[in-house]
Amino acid sequence: MRDDERMASFSVHVEVTQRPGIADPEGATIERSLPALGFDEVRGVHVGKSIRFSVDAADEATARSRVTELCDRFLTNPVIEDATIELTELAEAGA
């Protein structure tokens, strides 16, 4: 990296959910238990993963590309899970 190239820091939130049609036994167990606790009105419970971290990249497109690759290779099982990625550029220190 050249001295005149600045890296930006991005806050990353990855929400991992089951793909449509994939069984969610944990969500089903929670939903079946809720009426006994007085929550009869709750429906459609799904359980997923929420992963937060930060990443440094030259720009948002590069950050998104790297996070997508990370999701596909490590954070999700792309056969049965989908990932939603949210990026927020962090302010520079002293800015």
Provide the pLDDT for residue 91: 83
CA 69 to chain centroid: 13
Mean pLDDT in residue range 56-66: 97
Mean pLDDT in residue range 38-67: 97
Burial class (CB in 10 A: 0-12, 13-18, 19+), 13: middle
Q: Which residues contact 58 (CB under 8 A, 6 or more apart)?
A: 5, 6, 7, 8
The gap between the terminal CA atoms of the chain, to the nearest Å, is 22
Mean pLDDT in residue range 24-51: 97
For the chain, domains (ranges, CATH) are 8-20+47-89 (3.30.1280.10)
Residue 40: what residue type? D
Where residue 59 falls among pLDDT bands split at 50, 70, 90?
very high
Tokens of 70: 């990370």
Tokens of 64: 């998104």
Q: pTM to 2 decimals? A: 0.82
- Is the model's pLDDT at 4 over the cut of 90? no
Provide the pLDDT for residue 93: 52
Q: How far is CA 16 from CA 4, 11, 31, 53, in A?
A: 36, 16, 19, 14
Mean pLDDT in residue range 48-71: 97
